A = this chain, B = another copy of it.
Amino acid sequence: MKFEEKALETKHVFKGKVIDLDVETVILPDGKKATREIVHHHGAVGIVCITENEKIILVKQWRQPLRKATLEIPAGKIDPEEKGPLNTAARELNEEVRLSAQSFEYITSFYTSPGFADEKMFLYRAHGLNSVEKNLPRDAGEFLNIFELSMEQVEEEIKKGTICDSKTLMAIWYWKMNRIKE
């Protein structure tokens, strides 16, 4: 079966700080027309930090789309001027949790919502964590607290719904799978 949809016309609906929104008219494989709502995003990076005493580092912050505060792994948007997601990982690790890493191990990458968005998330594990000497400035309007949670505490926060996003659940599953292996 031929799948490809061809864009006939693109309407730029919105240009924002975090996302842009286009509505595309496409020709379907059967020749009919349809519209596709597409959110454009520069992509993001999430970082798995496991401490020497087997805890995961999480940040608590307000998420206005969810109307609540969540616990998530350190993460942030890729600046289009940054040369590759590893630079984003190093910057966000400093900005959000004031740490540097000796190395980053690539875990996986994924599209968060392929039905309506092109946001791609890169997941890394940070090795050799150290406190930074010089704090990078946080984004305006970024308020967060840093936590270290054991696997048992993590399970509790998942039940409560405070840990509730895909990249953080994947970080925890990755941590769990690695503990089984070790």
Q: Which residues of A contact B (CB under 8 A)?
A: 1, 3-5, 7, 13-14, 16-19, 21, 23-24, 26, 28-30, 32, 34-39, 41, 44, 60-66, 69-70, 72, 77, 108-119, 121, 140-141, 143, 145, 158, 164-167, 169-170, 173-174, 176-177, 180
Q: Does B32 lie within 8 Å of A164, measured CB to CB?
A: no
Q: Does B24 lie within 8 Å of A37, measured CB to CB?
A: no
* 11 A-B residue pairings within 8 Å (CB atoms): A4-B69, A18-B116, A21-B21, A28-B141, A34-B141, A70-B114, A108-B158, A109-B164, A111-B165, A112-B166, A113-B165
Q: How many monomers of this protein are in the complex? A: 2
Majority secondary structure of chain A interface residues (helix, strand, loop or mixed): mixed
Q: Pick from A13, A14, A19, A30 the residue with the most CB of B within 10 Å.
A: A19
Q: Does A63 lie within 8 Å of B115, measured CB to CB?
A: yes
In the complex formed, the residue of B with least CB distance to A180 is B180
Q: Does A37 lie within 8 Å of B17, measured CB to CB?
A: yes
Measured in the bound complex, the distance between the Cα atoms of B114 and A166 in whole Å is: 9
Chain B residues with CB under 8 Å of A26's CB are: 64
Q: Does A166 lie within 8 Å of B65, measured CB to CB?
A: no
Q: Does A1 lie within 8 Å of B64, measured CB to CB?
A: no
Measured in the bound complex, the distance between the Cα atoms of B35 and A180 in whole Å is: 43
